[in-house]
């Protein structure tokens, strides 16, 4: 398989990020950090070509590396997470699976922590460079000595352009590579990344503190380690820290950089079973259009600051009660609550709009006597969502959430599709123009429902 063509995404701070996508399955974004050029691994028997049998494999060069913006850009793991987010946004998929390998592990974890809704599955292979580690004196001394050796080889190999030093470093990472593969990798990596970024890697890895953050990950997670890592407890602390994480000790310890290595087939099959098997078991497409709404109390944090936690919570509780009454009255199905808002779905777009109208009108009446301006905002979209374990996912859901984020207090903001579904029903809309919703490339026309002009609610 030839390396796929290069595309570009732009990060939120304006850096152009080179990426590739190959395969027809669900998207699998791979984070390898500043180590593996985009063109490597696509030959027959290579890891990416093997994964592409089951997934749309998406790889990217972090800033300062390969074909991405370089100049004086060196980046960090947090910057790499921004680059990863830019690529995910460019794909336009509502959710992707994420595979972090070795040096790519930190950026993968940071990305899931930053925006967990974007990732359906997280796979971490050999996540040894960072994260949970022993604080014993013996291990600290081992880390310090290892860091000194790596630092010395990096300086010789990249700053002083010594090819034997580069090959020695690669041998430490992948001791089973043959002479020709070592030579080719040494040459391709020489110009791939700046020495400044490489020298920054080890101190940055040792300074990362993931233990508490890992406990916040709710995304289904698989930790895959080599037999040698498994024998020394590698990956165990990760699996213990991440709720419900699975630990898989692979049978083969061969390097993933060597085409045709048995470890490649094993990892590809493991990832496929974890992601695709889980999806086949738990996922079904709802074979009908559903209308999804998101609600939110605008400025709820300010309420707590002005009124105190107890009084603010009482206001939220009253809004929750009014919202649930509206959902029940119009056949809505409550999916979940999120802070001070709701996600729900309806079989009919008109029922969703009637419920939204009732929410706005009843909240306004509820607090009018107290002269309180409690401002609820609502986003509405329609489509065919994905259902997993009593939750909804997919483009329809993500767009509804993004539409709600564009709304202001007292707004019922709807997509053009929702407006079209209720044409001729007597609803009045005001066009709000085109908006760029996060994660969606094409601008979306949005409309505000004039709920104050509706004097009766349909039953």
Q: What is the pLDDT along the chain (459 residues), one digit of tens a residue?
A: 567 889 999 998 899 999 999 887 889 999 998 888 888 878 778 889 899 988 999 999 999 898 999 877 778 899 999 999 999 999 887 789 999 998 899 999 999 999 988 899 999 998 865 444 545 556 667 667 777 787 788 788 877 788 888 888 878 777 777 788 778 777 877 777 877 787 777 778 777 776 678 888 989 999 998 888 777 666 777 888 898 899 998 887 777 777 778 888 899 999 998 987 755 554 454 556 899 999 999 877 777 777 777 888 888 889 999 999 999 989 899 988 877 889 999 989 999 999 999 999 999 999 888 878 889 999 999 998 887 766 788 888 889 999 999 999 899 999 999 999 998 888 999 999 988 887 676 788 999 999 988 654 444
Task: With residue 435 as reference, give the H or E element that holds it.
Answer: strand 429-435
Instruction: Evaluate whether residue 73 is within a structural domain.
Output: yes
Instruction: Evaluate whether residue 159 is within a structural domain.
Output: yes
What are 407's two structure tokens?
């709304």
- 86 and 110 housed in the same domain: yes
Nearest of 349, 364, 345, 342 to residue 409 by alpha carbon: 364
Instruction: Evaluate whether residue 70 is within a structural domain.
Output: yes
Instruction: Evaluate whether residue 2 is within a structural domain.
Output: no
We report the CATH number of the domain holding residue 49 as: 3.40.50.1820
Nearest of 93, 80, 92 to residue 30 by alpha carbon: 80
- 185 and 196 housed in the same domain: yes
- 56 and 138 housed in the same domain: yes
Instruction: Evaluate whether residue 305 is within a structural domain.
Output: yes
Q: How many domains are there within the chain?
A: 2
Domain that holds residue 239: 7-283
- 186 and 255 housed in the same domain: yes
| Last residue in a domain, options 233, 261, 283 | 283
- 277 and 300 housed in the same domain: no
Instruction: Evaluate whether residue 158 is within a structural domain.
Output: yes
Instruction: Evaluate whether residue 1 is within a structural domain.
Output: no
- 294 and 270 housed in the same domain: no
- 217 and 103 housed in the same domain: yes
Question: Please, are residues 418 and 381 in contact by the beta-carbon 8 Å criterion?
Answer: yes
We report the CATH number of the domain holding residue 419 as: 3.30.70.1230
- 96 and 167 housed in the same domain: yes
User: Which pTM value belongs to this model?
Assistant: 0.60
| Last residue in a domain, options 283, 308, 342 | 283
- 274 and 142 housed in the same domain: yes
Instruction: Evaluate whether residue 242 is within a structural domain.
Output: yes
- 275 and 379 housed in the same domain: no
Please return the burial class of 331, using the count of CB atoms within 10 Å of its CB with bins 0-12, 13-18 and 19+: middle
Write the DSSP string, 1-31.
Answer: -PPPPPEEEE-TTS-EEEEEEE-SSSEEEEE
Write the DSSP string, 342-358.
Answer: EEEEESSHHHHHHHHHH
| Last residue in a domain, options 283, 313, 346 | 283
- 354 and 419 housed in the same domain: yes
- 259 and 113 housed in the same domain: yes
């Amino acid at each position: 398989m030839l390396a796929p063509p290069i595309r570009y995404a732009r990060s939120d701070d304006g850096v152009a990020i080179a990426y590739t996508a190959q395969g027809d399955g669900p998207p699998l974004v791979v984070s390898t950090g500043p180590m593996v050029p985009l063109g490597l691994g696509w030959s027959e028997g290579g890891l990416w070509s093997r994964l592409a049998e089951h997934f749309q494999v998406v790889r990217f060069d972090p800033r300062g590396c390969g074909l991405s913006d370089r100049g004086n850009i060196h980046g960090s793991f947090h910057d790499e997470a921004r680059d990863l987010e830019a690529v995910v946004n460019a794909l336009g998929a509502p959710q992707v699976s994420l595979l972090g390998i070795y040096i790519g592990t930190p950026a993968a974890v940071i990305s899931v922590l930053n925006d967990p809704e974007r990732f359906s599955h997280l796979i971490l292979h050999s996540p040894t460079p960072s994260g949970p580690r022993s604080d014993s004196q013996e291990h600290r001394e081992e880390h310090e000595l290892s860091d000194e050796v790596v630092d010395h080889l990096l300086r010789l190999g990249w700053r002083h352009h010594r090819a034997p030093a580069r090959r020695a470093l690669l041998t430490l990472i992948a001791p089973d590579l043959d002479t020709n593969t070592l030579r080719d990798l040494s040459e391709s990596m020489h110009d791939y990344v700046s020495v400044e970024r490489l020298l920054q890697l080890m101190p940055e890895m040792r300074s990362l503190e993931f233990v508490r953050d890992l406990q916040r990950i709710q995304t289904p997670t698989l930790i895959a380690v080599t037999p040698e890592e498994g024998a020394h407890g590698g990956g165990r602390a990760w699996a213990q820290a991440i709720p419900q994480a699975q630990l898989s000790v692979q049978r083969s310890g061969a390097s993933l950089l060597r085409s045709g290595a048995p470890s490649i087939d094993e990892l590809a099959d493991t990832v496929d079973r974890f992601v695709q098997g889980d999806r086949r078991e738990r996922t079904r497409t709802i074979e009908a259009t559903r209308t999804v709404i998101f609600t939110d109390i605008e400025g709820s944090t300010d309420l707590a600051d002005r009124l105190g936690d107890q009084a603010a919570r009482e206001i939220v509780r009253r809004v929750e009660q009014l919202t649930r009454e509206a959902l029940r009255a119009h056949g809505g199905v409550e999916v979940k609550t999120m802070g001070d808002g709701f996600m729900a779905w309806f079989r009919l777009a008109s029922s969703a709009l009637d419920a939204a109208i009732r929410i706005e009108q009843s909240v306004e009446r509820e607090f009018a006597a107290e002269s309180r301006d409690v401002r609820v905002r609502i986003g509405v979209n329609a489509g065919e969502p994905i259902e997993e374990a009593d939750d909804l996912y997919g483009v329809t859901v993500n767009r509804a959430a993004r539409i709600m984020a564009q709304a202001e207090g007292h707004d019922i903001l709807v997509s053009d599709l929702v407006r079209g579904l209720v044409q001729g029903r007597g609803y009045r809309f005001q066009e709000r123009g085109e908006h760029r919703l996060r994660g969606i490339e094409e601008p979306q026309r949005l409309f505000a429902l004039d709920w104050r002009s509706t004097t009766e609610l349909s039953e």
